[in-house]
């Protein structure tokens, strides 16, 4: 099984879909941590083209292309389209490069607090 880490951008086949779910093979940001869950699933958020009309939609997160995320153009993450996908869904690292992370698009991991 491939090692897939939180914050990486992977190409994921999102088909089949129902209704207005985002479809086809597209880059997705891995949201969940490997330490969570025992099933071979990853929680992902699909990446799509940025459109200026998304700027007023708080669930659309704008992503600028960088060498770290390997995105070719300004994109957005549609947080309404979050879903779990099987790691056996043949995910492939976006542009097949190692270690792509886009931490700005996901919340930082919670910090543990000790009780007094």
Q: Report pTM.
A: 0.71
CATH number at residue 79: 2.30.30.110
- The residue segments making up the domain with residue 52 are 9-105
Please indicate, yes or no, if residue 44 is contained in any of the structural domains: yes
Summarised one tens digit per residue, pLDDT across range 44-87 is 999 999 999 999 999 999 999 888 888 889 999 999 999 988 87
Please indicate, yes or no, if residue 116 is contained in any of the structural domains: no
Task: Tally the domains of the chain.
Answer: 1
Summarised one tens digit per residue, pLDDT across range 95-104 is 444 344 443 3
Q: Which long-range contacts (CB under 8 A, 24 or more apart) does 12-16 make?
A: 12/44, 12/46, 12/85, 12/89, 12/91, 13/89, 13/90, 14/46, 14/83, 14/85
Position 91 confidence tier, pLDDT thresholds 50, 70, 90: low
Q: 81 is written with which tokens?
A: 């389209």
């Amino acid at each position: 099984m491939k090692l897939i880490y939180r914050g990486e951008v992977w190409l994921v086949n999102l088909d089949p879909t129902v209704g207005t779910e985002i479809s086809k093979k597209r880059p997705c940001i891995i949201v969940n941590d490997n330490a969570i869950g025992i099933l071979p699933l990853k929680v992902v958020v699909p990446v799509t083209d940025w459109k200026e009309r998304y700027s007023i939609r708080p669930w659309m997160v704008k992503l600028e292309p960088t060498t770290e995320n390997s995105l070719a153009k300004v994109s957005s993450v549609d947080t309404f389209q979050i879903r779990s996908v099987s790691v056996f869904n043949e995910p492939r690292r976006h542009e097949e490069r190692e270690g792509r992370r886009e931490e700005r698009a996901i919340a930082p991991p919670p910090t543990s607090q000790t009780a007094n």
